[in-house]
Structure 1
Amino acid sequence: MVLLFTLIAWTAVAQENYEIRKIKFEGNDTIPEETLLEGMILHPTNYFEKKFGQKEPSLYSSELIQTDIERLTKLYQRMGFLDAQVKMLEPEIDDKKEKVELTFKINEGEAFRIDSITYSIGGSGVDFNADSVLSLLREQLYLTKGKRFVDDELGSDVSTIKNEFKNYGYAYARADYKITPKPKERLADIEYIVQPGPKSYFGATSIDGNKHVSEKYIRKQLQYKEGDEYNSSLLDDTRKDMYKLQLFSILSFQPQTTKDQTPNIPVKIYVDEAPRFTSKFGVGYGTEDKIRAFTNLTYKGLWGGARRVNLQLKHSALTPYEINFSYIQPQLFSSDVSLTLNPFFSRIKEPGYDIRDMGLNVKFSQEFTDDLSGYVSYYFEKVKNYEIDSTYLTSGETDIPYNKSGILLSTLFDNSDPKFSPTKGLNISLAYKLNGYIFGGDFNYSRVWTDIRNYQDLDKLVLATRLMIGAIHSGDSDKFIPVEDRFYAGGSNSIRGWQRSELGPLRDDGTPRGGSSAIQASVELRIPLVWKLSVVSFMDFGNVWEQELHYRLNDLAWATGGGIRLETPIGPIRFDVGVPVWNEKRSAEFFLSVGQAF
């Protein structure tokens, strides 16, 4: 018996300081593995993370394992599983490599759920309809009847209740809660207790830290004035709108409440101005645009306000030169409307055309909400077509140079996040272009298209989908559409079984002609590997048709493939291989680029 005890103790000591290769969980039906690992001290480390990510491995420690068992138990309790039990099973030990795999077995038990929610408002002098406010609050709260009790959501709901009262003039509002558990039924009642305090009003506002931006201009941005009923949301809205001006790197709004709860609340604003002149430079390489480079220069605070000017220079194989100058006037009619004047000059060499384009855009933009924006733009362009072999061009394409004049209307809904490489959310754009007719120019046509992108977080995976549909209608007898406004398909951001623009109508010499009708769609599964590496598997399909409003589903071209991504601060570096499906004449295509395909 003593010998057996000695052997068990020796085994436990022998695996101390072994490297933890893997951590597994059993019985975690409710809480995902990622969340559990984030709550632990110990963490698994593989070869790539150690080699390329410089990540130090965790070493086996009986003391730390016991600490992690306690942490996991408390995590489950905060999630409403008050009777949860966690234990570690026998570890899998590799003495030769001095590595160990851990398995934690979890018995979640039955979660506590919310049975009822009530409110108690203390004090006197509340001069608004508390019932209507509480009714609105119920729509904002995480915890509702029947939901599982979660500590963090309770804390968030308490803050929401307190802040809502502060939006109705009660700067000193406090909120607390009382929980009444019902162990037998696995239920809990919540009572929120609110102390509004005295009615409050905005006092004087002081401003500090500004150097170039005048105090007068800053005061024009304030959405409140001294003597107004206190409303904390007005401070938040003012700060948000001022950040949009791009004049400030730090904005701090500090209501000066007092212990004796004086009704007049002075506000102290501290600002740290952003650099007035900024410059960005970059170079890169891609299989389509080859070597590319850009320069971006911006000057802010022009003529003492929020006006700014921007100069952008670009070069690549697809765009040998592009010069864009922009004058931006924020807050033209209101805080969410801006004006942009944009003269430009560029040379564009696509597989289907070679043009020089110069002109002017006059754009009015508006942000309707944080996720919804739109703009209307008038444009005038003078285009010269450099196609050398006009034998293969239509009669319209030989009419060079030519003028374009019209309007472009666009709206965008985008709640996808994060922006460079979304893992969740929706991105929907809809645009309409009307060229010629009452606006003049050499051709009359309209162009409409929509692009819908959806991102779903599937635990560790991301399912990304995209659908683009477009149509062009010509009002001229020859049905000519300028080559740069036609639809094209194929390439690194399109149907990846074809090179750029080569899917769809072709001229006699094999160059892309483009078309007036288009469908493009993609389904992509993004799978993280290790460190900053991930892989994708995709299916693309679509085509372009020369005729107007002509979509033949039997003509859809299909491609499948995969790729690898390396996350960087400017977006993922992407390598994709696309293989045409049901097309024996074509071989695989390879693409190297920056940024997700969509």
Structure 2
Amino acid sequence: MRELRPWTLAAGACLIMAPAAAIAAAELDVAVELTGIENEALHKEMRVLSKVARGKETYTALAPLRRAVEQDARAIERALRSKGYYAANVVPDIKRTGLDVRVTIAVTPGEKFTVTDYVIIYVDDQPNERPADFAAIGKTPKGDPAGKKLEELSDALVSYLWNNGYPATEEIERQVEARFEDSTATAVFRLRTGPIATYGDIRTEGLKRTDTDFIAAHFRPAEGDIYSRKQIDKFRTRLAGTSLFREVAIEPAPPAADGRTDLLVTVEERKHRTIGAGVSFGTDVGIGATANWENRNIFGGGERLSTELKWSAPAQDLEVIFEDPLPRWPGSWNTSLLLENETTDAFEAQTATVGAGVTKKFFESKWELSAGLRYTISDITDFSDPDFPDGFEETFQTASLPFAAAYNNENNALNPTSGYRLRAEVTPFFGDLQFNRAELSAASRIGFGSTKRFLIAGRARMGATIGASGTDLPATERFFAGGGGSVRGYAFQEAGPIDSETGNPTGGASVAEVNLETRFRVQEKIQIALFADGGSVFESETPDFSGDFLVGAGVGVRYLTPIGPIRLDVATPLDKREIRGLRENEDGMLEEQTIFQDDPIQVYIALGQPF
């Protein structure tokens, strides 16, 4: 008989065992049923908690499947109790037939409990009275046992204590004492507050150029007032709003025995000098450029010296402003110099303006009132009068007292997606001509969806001149409309009356403009806009709409960047005008010619939304 070697027996055994191993490693076909929950929404919410039901894992043996099902059952039980089903019971069951496995998760949710009592317990004794119930902080609990609702109540209580003298408040424990016989419960909140705190000194770290007194001037409460975290948050916001610091951190120091608590203000100062530049383009004005330089915190009190140069074909100007903040006011005072050179179809002018003003801010700088005094002198050549073919020259001097009120709660200066702004200004003028000017403007937008992917934005402007008509006013003091920041589709200053002999815009004593734009973000950084703008200027002191109210429409694309959207708008006039008249030709003969005609297309490129 032939002898079998050991390796031959081993090989045979492996061949015999291989089919059995393949069967054992086969994937189980698992079906999951969740029973006992009649409420469809609750059933769906609980089923999602089951990893086995979601089918994210595969199983080849019952042992790991049993562990996973048991974990699912406990997760569902915890979720039900967090919603107030404190008597909930969850029992899983597994039945296998070959590779088919049926998992049943039987749920008995029981009655949803009602919280009938709310108890606040302070674990530390303090001499001052603290809120004994939620009514003392203006809350009326509705009996909802859900953990989220109880957490909201706890947060409200802690926040109230933080803002009423107890900065060290912390929740030690939150629990629910259930009474299963009648499905009611008592919610118990245990807290430690520490002693009541009052404001002490303001201590600073990280200052290089800034005076400590300037920091302290932004803090409104007086020394000895009751501590409030809201006031600390406002203090931080005010300091950040000065644009002097990269980082601002404010923390309470450990309170002294009498509760006196110093504030530790730690800052990192920004570089105090900055320069900037920008470019724009419009088919009506060509390429435009701006350059600016700013020196902040010159004397350690947040003072600001800024210079801005603007250049385009129709206008070049240089403005220098010195601003000194008055944080205790709160507001600022300023003085300025503005030099302008304007070369437009309507007029040419060289203007110098010096001024000074003061502003006061309210409601955390959302409201602002301002008043000022300005002196202006202009050398003007007016081309709108056909009686002076080479232009009518005059020198105009005036003193003015601008008064303005403004409100702004927009969330971003260059690309606002929420909020609105309002501005009203009245300016009496004295000098070569006495008159009063009034202007109103407003802009807002409505966003749709959680990410504000779709926006509808609007703007309106109205201006009037009391005491002078359009022909009385020097060209530099008239209203004009048209251009990228006004009525798109019409060239700069040309959305208004055009003189039938010269073909030049005349301007007016009053103006009305309205803009409507829809914006839709098609990609993360790409936004499409459709818009319609309307407006005109009027000879009358107030808008009487006696002439044409011109409307332009178009489409735009915005490329969203961290410094604001780069905007490309293409617009066309819907009320395209052509003015024809008799003019001499090259042979000295009169013939009918086109004196003025609106261009069919206007293109604008700039940084920032139009409004």
TM-score of the superposed pair, with normalisation by structure 1:
0.69
Which residue is 1:328 aligned to?
A: 323
**1:442 equivalent in alignment to 2:432:** yes
CA distance in structure 2 between the aligned counterparts of 1:287 and 1:383, rounded to whole angstroms? 28
The match for 2:527 is 534
1:596 is matched with: 609
Question: Match for residue 412 of structure 1?
Answer: 406
Which of 499, 503, 512 is 2:495 aligned to? Answer: 503
Aligned to 2:563: 570
Q: Which residue of 1 aligns with 2:397?
A: 403
Partners in 1 of 2:267 and 2:419 — Cα distance? Answer: 33
Contact kept, 8 Å, 1:292 with 1:315, in 2: the verdict is yes
> How far does residue 338 in structure 1 lie from its aligned partner after superposition?
0.4
State the SS of the aligned residue for 2:315: coil
Which residue number in structure 1 is paired with residue 458 of structure 2?
Answer: 465
Which has the higher mean CA deviation after the structures are superposed, 166-175 or 382-391? 382-391
Q: Secondary structure at the match of 1:326?
A: strand
Mapped partners of 2:119, 2:518: distance in 1:
46
Rg comparison, structure with higher value: 2
Letter paired with 2:513? Q
What is the CA-CA distance between 1:568 and the residue it aligns to?
2.5
After superposition, give the CA deviation of every residue in 1:443-481 in whole Å (9 maximum; x if it has no partner): 1111112112121011221011122222112258x9612
Aligned to 1:280: 276
Q: 1:527–1:215: structure 2 CA closer, same or farther, 3 Å change rule? A: closer
1:225 to 1:484, Cα distance in 2 relative to 1, 3 A? same
1:251 — aligned with what?
A: 248
Alignment counterpart, residue 483 of structure 1, candidates 475, 482, 488: 475
Partner residue of 1:381? 376
CA shift, 1:422, in A, is 1.7
Identity of aligned residues (%): 20
Check whether the contact 1:117–1:145 (CA below 8 A) recurs between aligned residues: no
The answer as to whether partners of 1:366 and 1:374 remain within 8 angstroms in 2 is yes
1:206 aligns with 2:198: no
327 and 62 in structure 1: CA distance in 2 versus 1, 3 angstrom threshold: same
Task: State the SS of the aligned residue for 2:402.
Answer: strand
Preserved contact between residue 253 and residue 267 of structure 1 (Cα < 8 Å): yes
**Structure 2 Cα separation of the partners of residues 495 and 204 of structure 1:** 54
Structure 1 position 297, deviation (Å): 1.9
The residue identity in structure 1 corresponding to 2:321 is S
1:294 aligned to 2:276?
no
- Rounded to whole Å, the distance in 2 between the matches of 1:145 and 1:545 is 60
Aligned residues: 488
**In structure 1, distance between residues paired with 2:176 and 2:322:** 57
**Aligned counterpart, 2:354:** 360
Q: 1:135 to 1:360 in 2, by over 3 A?
A: farther
Cα displacement string for residues 48-92 of structure 1 (whole angstroms, at most 9, x for unaligned residues): xxxxxxxxxxxxx977xxxxxx9xx99xx99x9999xxxxxxxxx
- Is the 2:425–2:438 Cα contact (8 Å) retained in structure 1? yes
Whole-Å Cα distance in 1 between the matches of residues 115 and 446 of structure 2?
32
Matched, 1:231 2:223: no
| Further displaced range: 159-168 or 487-496 | 159-168
Q: What's the counterpart of residue 88 of structure 2? A: none
Which letter maps to 1:273? Answer: E
Return the offset for 1:524: 1.1
Find the counterpart in structure 2 of residue 162 from structure 1. 158
Matched, 1:305 2:305: no
1:147 to 1:362, Cα distance in 2 relative to 1, 3 A: farther
Note closer, same or farther for the CA distance 1:499–1:222 as it changes in structure 2 (3 Å cut). closer
Post-superposition Cα deviations, 1:20-75, rounded to whole Å, max 9, x if no partner, equal: xxxxxxx99xxxxxxxxxxxxxxxxxxxxxxxxxxxxxxxx977xxxxxx9xx99x
**Which stretches in structure 1 are left out of the alignment for 5+ residues?**
1-8, 10-26, 29-60, 64-69, 84-111
Residue 559 (structure 2) pairs with residue 546 (structure 1): no
Secondary structure, counterpart of 1:421 in structure 2? coil
The one-letter code of the counterpart of 1:341 is T
- Per-residue CA distance 1:228-287 (angstroms, 9 max, x = gap): 5433334333333333444333222221338x9983434322222222322223344343
CA distance in 2, matches of 1:243, 1:456: 27
d(CA) in 2 for partners of 1:341, 1:591: 33
* Aligned residue identity for 1:402: F
Shift of the 457–190 alpha-carbon distance from structure 1 to 2, 3 Å rule, reads farther
1:426-437 equivalences under 5 Å are: 426-436=420-430
Q: Which residue of 2 aligns with 1:558?
A: 551
For the pair 1:424 / 2:418, whether they are aligned, the reply is yes
Go from structure 1 to structure 2 and tell me whether the alpha carbon gap of 1:422 and 1:391 turns closer, same or farther (over 3 Å shift).
same
TM-align CA RMSD: 4.5
Q: Contact 2:509/2:539 (CA < 8 Å) preserved in 1?
A: yes
Unaligned runs of 5+ in 2: 1-25, 27-39, 42-54, 58-71, 86-111, 579-597
Secondary structure at the aligned position of 2:326 is classed as coil
- Once residues 469 and 379 of structure 1 are traced to their aligned partners in structure 2, the CA distance between those partners, rounded to angstroms, is 23
Q: Using the alignment, how far apart are the partners of 1:381 and 1:126 within structure 2?
A: 66
